[in-house]
Structure 1
Amino acid sequence: MQSLTIKHMLIEGHVDIDGAIPLPHVTSKILAKVIDYCQAEADADAGGGDEDVMKAWEMSDLAGVGEDTLWDLLLAANYLEIEGLLDLAYEAVEEMVKGRIDPEIRMVLNLREDHRCWHKPWACI
């Protein structure tokens, strides 16, 4: 099982194996992508851990998604504790900010400027 969150829910008896599993932080659109990833991962494992299968999934399903979808996928992977998907999402964010300067990174990541660093550089260490 790839999701540690769901695994712990089942082991600890928080949900019935035949019942619904509550995923309040995951939309159906994002859940479909998560399931696609998990299926590709299972197929890769069944085929002897073929990295080409995962790279193909990454190129087809992760590349080209909008920023909002990427953030939602990142949050879902974190909430569901799916390490492989989390790593792929982090890599996609890394590609978004690679080669950019600080103001551009702040704009891409929707971060406001921290003025503490201008007046108190020690506060930003």
Structure 2
Amino acid sequence: MASSSSTKKITLKSSDSVTFEIEEVVFQSIKNLTDDVADDIEILVPRITGKILAKVIEYCKKHVEAASSYEKLFDDKLNKWYTEFVEVDNVTLFNLIWAASILDLSIKTLADMIKDKKPEDIGKIFNIINAYRPE
């Protein structure tokens, strides 16, 4: 096992100037969020707030941890973690979808939210007023 001092660290800076220092292996999971992945000291992650970037990093760390410990990516323990991870308010969920790093999980959660719902209930979830008209 490599020592933590030899692990390359990368600093990410959110659109609202919150910085995060992460290991390079975690960065590999989220580098599609950045415009430039050169050997910068600090990499700007545009259009993503610190709150959402923290969630994305948390997700990526868990994903890397699961892969490195040879856990099945979708075993019961990990599925429970994923379910709890996306138990967030709608604005946060939509921002996670927008961040796209966790698009599949976020979309699945969104689909589960509207599954078997009446159109008026779906309208309430998305704050749509009078979207459905019988005529």
Q: Give the Å deviation of 1:38.
A: 0.2
Which residue type is aligned with residue 55 of structure 1? Answer: N
Match runs of 1:69-108 below 5 Å? 69-76=92-99, 78=100, 82=101, 85-108=102-125
The answer to whether structure 1 residue 42 and structure 2 residue 64 are counterparts is yes
Indicate if the aligned counterparts of 2:97 and 2:103 stay in contact, CA closer than 8 A.
yes
Q: Which has the higher contact order (CA 8 A, sep 6+)?
A: 1
TM-score under structure 1 length normalisation: 0.69
Structure 1, unmatched stretches of 5+, are: 11-15, 119-125
Q: Which residue of 1 aligns with 2:55?
A: 33
Q: Give the Å deviation of 1:48.
A: 2.1
Question: Between Structure 1 and Structure 2, which shows a larger proportion of helix residues?
Answer: 1
Which residue type is aligned with residue 31 of structure 1? Answer: L
Which residue type is aligned with residue 43 of structure 1? Answer: E
Question: Between Structure 1 and Structure 2, which shows a larger proportion of strand residues?
Answer: 2
Cα distance 1:45–1:7, how it changes in 2: closer, same or farther (>3 A)?
A: farther
Q: SS where residue 44 of structure 2 aligns? A: coil
Q: SS where residue 21 of structure 1 aligns? A: strand
TM-score under structure 2 length normalisation: 0.65
Q: Which residue of 1 aligns with 2:24?
A: none
Which residue type is aligned with residue 111 of structure 2? Answer: E
Cα distance 1:57–1:9, how it changes in 2: closer, same or farther (>3 A)?
A: farther
**In 1: Cα distance, 2:80 partner to 2:40 partner:** 33
- Report percent identity of matched pairs: 27
Q: Give the Å deviation of 1:47.
A: 1.9
Give the paired residue count. Answer: 105
**In 2: Cα distance, 1:103 partner to 1:95 partner:** 16
Cα distance 1:6–1:19, how it changes in 2: closer, same or farther (>3 A)?
A: farther
Q: Which residue of 2 aligns with 1:123?
A: none
Structure 2, unmatched stretches of 5+, are: 1-27
